[in-house]
Amino acid sequence: MRTLVCTTPGAFEYVDGERPALTEGNAIIKIKRIGICGTDLHAFEGTQPFFSYPRILGHELSGELLEADGAESFEIGEAVTFIPYFNCGICIACRNGKQNCCTDIKVCGVHVDGGMAEYLSVPSHSLIHGEGLSFDELALVEPLAIGAHGVRRAGITKDEFVLVIGAGPIGLGTMEFARIAGGKVIALDINDARLQFCKDKLKVPFVINALAADVTEQLMAITGGDMPTVVIDATGSLKAINNAFQYMAHGARFVLIGLQKENLSFSHPEFHKREATLMSSRNATRADFEHVIASMKAGLVEPTTYITHQVEFDEVKDEFQGWLDPKNGVIKAMITI
């Protein structure tokens, strides 16, 4: 079995090893597609917090089910994806149905080796039926589920103005599911090409460049003076998060999907007078995965729109560095194996 190992920051090596054996409660997947996400890029750069090397990256995955123990509703040979956040099942979060923020969570490709490999063993309870979707589509379910979970946390109601900060893959998915939830989406980013993508491909009605001097004035004009009642950050940028507190309407909810390792700073009087709500959104649940798949099947979202770069597994080592350069316009790179 061939794998691609990130040995140290900035370095990949192809390694040949043994195919994983079937063990109790697990399933073996023959990997077909690997989507590249921000976590993979940050790990390669050496900027991903709490990360150790060597590590096999990859958690946006799809493949063919080869063997399984304890997966009675699945058929050998069917196309599958899986929930890549392996939870303990016994902690307070797991007992309360929040397996996405398990106290001992092991994220595939981050805390444990991931799917840049020909075969991967995963817990059978993590499997998700392919429902007739293509391997490309199934590999995009996980990143879209991240946005769908953040939208569900926000509790968006019909015709609310929803400001989504960051037009990367997670932000784009968040915009899609905010729209599906009935929100009027406003995209905020510093990249004009990404904002144009939002308008042309996702039909986002309002876009604003965050570097403009009149962001607040533009938001006021769009919302009729009210400001957005939902703000969602998908950047993880400290500056972007701190700035966004001023964009909240009175009574608004601010959801942090992006992760920032430093302390946040905002005016408590301004936050307090709004009776605002601040919440985080971590990973996604099975309900989010199922919502994404149902939305794909209903034609409410076209996931392959995001795929801008496609390469074969043997090309990844040479191509990966280029995906870090904004000039190359990467939204989603997809690997075929």
Least confident of 45-54, 192-201, 268-277, 291-300: 45-54
Strand pairing of 127-129 and 119-123?
Answer: unpaired
Q: Is residue 227 within 8 Å of residue 206, measured between CB atoms?
A: no
Read off the pLDDT of residues 78-125 as tens digits, 9 standing for 90 and up.
Answer: 999 999 999 999 999 999 999 999 999 999 999 999 999 999 999 999
Alpha-carbon distance 163 to 226, whole Å?
12
pLDDT given at position 326: 87
Q: Which domains does the chain have, with CATH numbers?
A: 2-139+302-336 (3.90.180.10), 147-280 (3.40.50.720)
pLDDT of residue 47 exceeding 90 = no
Cα 190 from chain centroid? 20
Q: Is residue 258 within 8 Å of residue 238, measured between CB atoms?
A: no
Q: Quick one: average pLDDT of 278-285?
A: 98
Q: Position of tokens 């990404």?
A: 194
Alpha-carbon distance 118 to 2, whole Å?
6
Q: Is residue 243 within 8 Å of residue 264, measured between CB atoms?
A: no
pLDDT of residue 50 exceeding 80 = no
